[in-house]
Amino acid sequence: MPELPEVETVVRQLRPVVQQNKLVRLRLLDKKLRGVNPAELRHMRVYKVSRAGKQIIFHLRHARKEPERHLAIHLRMTGTLIWQRYAERSGGRKVVPDVSRRNYWRKAADILPQHVRAIFYFEDGCVLFCDPRRFGTFALKADAAGFRPAGLEPLSRAFTRKKLANLLRLSSQEIKPWLLRQDKLCGIGNIYAAEILFAARLHPRRRAGSLGASEVQRLHSATVRILRKAISFCGTTVSDFQDTTGSAGGFSRLLKVYDRENRRCRRCRGAILRIMQQGRSTYYCPVCQT
DNA sequence: ATTATATCCTGATCGC
DNA sequence: TGCGATCAGGATATAA
């Protein structure tokens, strides 16, 4: 599911409900989830929610100047975070469930989506981590810098045309797989790699190092433009991406090539092709992209 | 040093 | 309707 725009969407939606909220308890329901000891985070306040590449970071502490913990959530292919406010009584008084009581879990089972792997219980609601394929991961660190991906953030000021040119110059790899490399640029995945290359009118099999100055320029501006636009549409849903409210992303209908094999190119009316690169599908228009 | 492949999982879809 | 093969938004360890 989640590439940079989807993760950014989740972070923005989580911020107003989770930031400054106290994490009463974290409950892991899948033994596969390691890398975090829930007891360590009990009753800590989430003072900030941020994004690092494709990871969502909860910054936690008990109080100002107390030691900090930083929890990185990586949704991988099918992870979602769903916010659920606790049910309210008719009088409007919030009912905070006693999470130690088994009966809450039994009741909750009917309202919970499938594949819940972890539950973050906050004071007025909980965040459900759902992940059918169970690829998602948690990691806990004392220092937030430990999560900073090696690759450049494509929406940061540091991502300049010149930097991109320098990164590309060294590689003989095909440009599409190159865009997926999180150690070069972080946050781009299979959907946006295809969409960015279409917008830049570059063939996915071009070698990274072979791009001329004007092509690098196109790739740079297409990367920024497509990612920003996707964020403004709350990401893309192909099959199962959901934001924190369970809604689908709005960028799907703006896709020009991804998942459009044999359909007409919106620009030249020719057929969109699908090829395999490193075991993954690449969609492109052979007329528009050279 | 790069660059392909197998692997971790479950579910949806397609051809027969 | 059922069944096996294939594919899926990611990333990493291992092999070439």
Catalytic amino acids of A? 2-3, 54, 280
Residue A111, pLDDT above cutoff 70: no
Confidence of residue A91 (pLDDT cuts 50, 70, 90): low
Residue nearest the C1' of C11 (CA based): A76
Per residue in A64-89, pLDDT tens? 999 999 999 999 999 999 998 887 64
Nucleotide nearest to A181 (CA to C1'): C11
Domain that holds residue A268: 161-284
Per residue in A270-283, pLDDT tens? 999 999 999 999 99
In total, how many domains does chain A have? 2
Q: Give the C-alpha separation, A196 to A140, whole Å.
A: 33
Whether the beta carbon of A29 falls within 7 A of nucleic chain B: the reply is no
Residue A125 within any structural domain of the chain: yes
- Identify the CATH number of the domain in which residue A222 sits: 1.10.8.50
Whether the beta carbon of A150 falls within 7 A of nucleic chain B: the reply is no
Residue A152 within any structural domain of the chain: no
- Quote the strand ranges of chain A, DSSP E: 22-28, 44-52, 55-61, 68-74, 80-85, 116-122, 125-130, 137-141, 273-277, 280-284
Whether the beta carbon of A32 falls within 7 A of nucleic chain B: the reply is yes
Confidence of residue A56 (pLDDT cuts 50, 70, 90): very high
- A8 with A85, same domain? yes
Find the Å distance, CA of residue A244 to C1' of nucleotide C3: 36
- Identify the CATH number of the domain in which residue A108 sits: 3.20.190.10
Distances (CA, A) of A257 to A188, A196, A236, A254, A271: 16, 10, 13, 9, 10
Whether the beta carbon of A279 falls within 7 A of nucleic chain B: the reply is yes
Whether the beta carbon of A133 falls within 7 A of nucleic chain C: the reply is yes
- A168 with A138, same domain? no
Residue nearest the C1' of B4 (CA based): A278
Residue A52 within any structural domain of the chain: yes
